[in-house]
Amino acid sequence: EVQLVESGGGLVQPGGSLRLSCSASGFPFTDAWMSWVRQAPGKGLEWVGRILSKGGGETTAYGAPVKGRFTISRDDSTNTLHLQMNSLEIEDTALYHCTWEAVAGVSVHWGQGTLVTVST
């Protein structure tokens, strides 16, 4: 069974940093292309970014609102995906989901998410 479990969310002040993690199991993580998708409270879905597998050069891509502030990385030795978030803004407040692109570009499997709140 595919499992994606996010952690690391919490309350942070504007300008602060936070690192999210996603523990993956039940599928070949080493070969997986992974994404982060977020959802602000009461709002729609927003694509954050993605990372290809090592075989794909661990190439990353980001949405415009987070480019230059967020960094996606992976640790294949522990089957863990990370999202480093710097210079956080109030608008970054959201539930952050880790997803597995079992079909390239398509978030076939989703974690339940971890909540990030940026507030004074």
Partner 1 sequence: EIVMTQSPATLSVSPGERATVHCRASQSVGSNLAWYQQKPGQAPRLLIYGASTRATGIPARFSGGGSGTEFTLTISSLQSEDFAVYYCQHYNNWPPWTFGQGTKVEIK
Residues near partner 1 (CB under 8 A):
37, 44-47, 49-50, 61-64, 97, 103-108, 110-113
**Minimal distance in Å, beta carbon 79 to partner 1?**
19
**Minimal distance in Å, beta carbon 42 to partner 1?**
11
* 62 vs 79 by CB, closer to partner 1: 62
* 16 vs 102 by CB, closer to partner 1: 102
Q: Give the N- to C-terminal CA distance of the chain in Å, as an integer.
A: 40
The answer to whether residues 4 and 65 touch, using CB atoms and an 8 Å cutoff, is no
The answer to whether residues 29 and 99 touch, using CB atoms and an 8 Å cutoff, is no
* 55 vs 105 by CB, closer to partner 1: 105
Q: CA-CA distance, 42 to 60, in Å (whole number)?
A: 28
What one-character DSSP code corresponds to residue 43? S
**Minimal distance in Å, beta carbon 113 to partner 1?**
6
What one-character DSSP code corresponds to residue 2? -
